[in-house]
Chains A and B, each alone.
Chain A
Amino acid sequence: MNEAILTRDLVKRYGRNRALDGFTLGVPAYSITGLVGRNGAGKTTWMMTVAGFVMPTSGEINLLSSGPFDATRHSGRFSILPQDSELPLTACPRELLIRYARLQGLAVDKAQAAADSLLATFNLTDKAKRPVRSLSHGMRKRVMVAQAFIGDPEVVMLDEPLSGLDPVEADRMRAFIRSYRGRSTIVISSHQLDDIEKLCTHVAFVDAGKVERIVTLSSITSESGRIVYTLRREPSDVPALEAACPGVKLGVDQSNNPNNSNNQTISQTLVAEFGEELSVEAVNAALLPQLFPLGVVSVVPGRSLEEAYLRGGNAG
């Protein structure tokens, strides 16, 4: 099985509006795939459609090589953290997780063990017997994520899993999700590109109800092709620097400079872009001697996901 989820030409219409407009995406098995796109691009609708919550107008869905979602086939093998969906407010997290596990077919002892393990992982053991309505937003979110992982499903979809979490819990959550790398197929939708970058192996760029492209994260943030130098002073003669290193195109990027307000420039960002024929080491060897007099603060090879996304014209 190469693709855990495969959708072809998926269309979902709400009146005249096409929430999905030929959404074709294959999610590689055992990958952690991030969905990136503007509000209304179709990420959540696609997840809801794959989960069987939303009926597609047309198109094909193949989940775990056994057709569209059907609880008789996929219960316990597929789960989702849906967006804006409340847990039963009067239930306690532990009971809730055990009941959900029982619905998936787990025996009582295994369901209890799985629930206790997840509650401990998400730092909720002391809240296990308190009703959901008494929990804070972040705690509820952790229970919601925990229910998605109960029974170790093969495919897990997470819609904004880290929103509303404090930095410590968000970090714990990232580590937990990363621990599933290679064990389950995980799809994450998030506007926090930093989180996608930290967690995902693949990224699908979504816009206007379609997937523009799906690529590996390393192909975006790979070390080849780009180096960002942070300097104390602005280089006065950029063409001369380019001449010292043929094949490299240099640009001064003031948008990345956090200290450029009120024209009081403390540092400058110089971006070097080059083709596959040049290596990072070769470019550094040629450029760094020229840049040292300007005061090199940092040298960061590669491109962030955010930069790649914004360059792709998806900024909204």
Chain B
Amino acid sequence: MSWRRIWQSAVFELFSAMRSRRAIVVAVLYLVVSLLCMGGSITLLGKMEDQLSQVLQVEKAEGTKSGVVSAALWKSKPFQKLVRGALKDSLVYDDICGKHPAELIYAWFVLLLVPPLTLMLSANRAASEIGSGSVLYMITRVTRLEWTLGKYLGSALLIMVGLLIGAGGAWAVAFFKLAGADVAALFPSMLGWSLKAWALSLSWLGLALGISHFFKSGAKADGVAWVMLLVFAAVPDWLRWFGGRYAFLAVLFPSTVEKSLWRSSFAPVATATVWLLMLGLCYLSAGYAYFSRRDAR
């Protein structure tokens, strides 16, 4: 295995993505999703705050933007107790307590949407090339392992760019729609959440490409990937509730590890990132193991 050839394969993947305008689709998709989710969430937050002020019969100051009430709520002891109870994880609570609502909204939707977006954009990548035969021009020049890893690396870089663009869009919406001068300072935090979402995407990307190696049709790979998304969402909870002594197997699913990404301190986030990468490579290696032993044509 040669790192140079893996890198060249990754560059080839990026080059193909740009040529096929897939790179633009990825960037636009992440941007539009960020804009819509951020805008929608802030509007919803504003309505909730309006209703809250009506119920409490508290006058909301004229021209006050959304987020003021939420920021004030964080300072309320009963509210803190409520959130702590809902999270059932005091460590995560300690880390998110007091954070700006815009940051938490962004963190919530980016971590929620990265798995389906990753599957949607990546599950057909290998399958369509195997099906069309264009993979043959690659695997006379690089090994099948180098091609697989190059595809993974190239796709991961593409997702990272998409997420960073999405963070910029979400921050712009927050800046114009939310109150408080501190919103301007949120950009680094939102970039941080994008990177955490990228760490999460590494495992889902491994799953998407792993599945893709089993098929010669991009449409079939897409279909199976969506089924696997549902399975991977349901199985960890099922294991936790009904798994008995096999409950520990839940750690083999990205959603179980995802909670650690909500932490602020370096160690749990780094551990979760490494674990998610390992999970991604494990899923990918299952697909590679099949592809490496099968006829490419």
- Chain A residues in the interface with B (C-beta under 8 A): 48, 51-55, 69-72, 74-76, 78-80, 82, 84-88, 90-92, 95, 99-100, 102-105, 131, 147
**How many of chain B's residues have a CB under 8 angstroms from any CB in A?**
31
The answer to whether A99 and B134 touch across the interface, beta carbons within 8 angstroms, is no
CA–CA, A264 to B8, complex, Å?
A: 67
Given A54-B295, A71-B142, decide whether A95 and B19 contact each other with a Cβ distance below 8 A.
Answer: yes
**Stretch of B9-17, B164-172, B181-189, B209-217 that contacts chain A:** B9-17
Closest to B147 in A: A71
Given A92-B19, A99-B15, A103-B9, decide whether A53 and B139 contact each other with a Cβ distance below 8 A.
Answer: yes
B132 contacts partner chain A, Cβ-Cβ < 8 Å: yes
Given A53-B297, A88-B19, decide whether A103 and B136 contact each other with a Cβ distance below 8 A.
Answer: no
Contacting residues, chain A, for B138 (C-beta < 8 A): 103
Total number of A-B contacts with CB less than 8 angstroms?
90
Contacting residues, chain B, for A95 (C-beta < 8 A): 15, 19
Q: List 11 A-B contacts (CB under 8 A).
A: A51-B140, A69-B140, A72-B2, A74-B140, A78-B140, A80-B136, A86-B132, A90-B16, A90-B20, A103-B8, A103-B141
Given B1, B4, B137, B294, which contacts A100 in the complex, CB threshold below 8 Å?
B137
Tell me how far the C-beta of A102 lies from the nearest C-beta in chain B, rounded to whole angstroms. 5
Contacting residues, chain B, for A88 (C-beta < 8 A): 16, 19-20, 129, 134
Tell me how far the C-beta of A18 lies from the nearest C-beta in chain B, rounded to whole angstroms. 15
CA–CA, A55 to B295, complex, Å?
A: 6
The answer to whether A71 and B139 touch across the interface, beta carbons within 8 angstroms, is yes
Tell me how far the C-beta of A16 lies from the nearest C-beta in chain B, rounded to whole angstroms. 17
Contacting residues, chain A, for B139 (C-beta < 8 A): 52-53, 71
Contacting residues, chain A, for B81 (C-beta < 8 A): none
Which A-B residue pairs are the 9 nearest by beta carbons?
A85-B133, A103-B141, A90-B20, A86-B132, A90-B19, A71-B143, A53-B296, A54-B295, A82-B136
CA–CA, A267 to B49, complex, Å?
A: 102
CA–CA, A95 to B16, complex, Å?
A: 10
Contacting residues, chain B, for A92 (C-beta < 8 A): 19
Tell me how far the C-beta of B97 lies from the nearest C-beta in chain A, rounded to whole angstroms. 49
Chain B: interface secondary structure? helix
Which among A48, A70, A92, A103 has the greatest number of chain B C-beta atoms within 10 A? A103
The answer to whether B295 and A53 touch across the interface, beta carbons within 8 angstroms, is yes
Contacting residues, chain A, for B146 (C-beta < 8 A): 71
CA–CA, A95 to B136, complex, Å?
A: 17
Apart from A78-B140, A87-B137: 17 A-B pairs, beta carbons within 8 A: A48-B295, A53-B297, A71-B139, A75-B142, A76-B141, A80-B136, A85-B133, A86-B133, A88-B19, A88-B134, A90-B20, A91-B19, A95-B15, A95-B19, A100-B137, A103-B141, A147-B137
Q: Which of B86-141 contact A (CB under 8 A)?
A: 129, 132-134, 136-141
Given B5, B11, B19, B297, which contacts A85 in the complex, CB threshold below 8 Å?
B297
Tell me how far the C-beta of A45 lies from the nearest C-beta in chain B, rounded to whole angstroms. 10
Given A55, A86, A100, which contacts B141 in the complex, CB threshold below 8 Å?
A100
CA–CA, A190 to B10, complex, Å?
A: 35
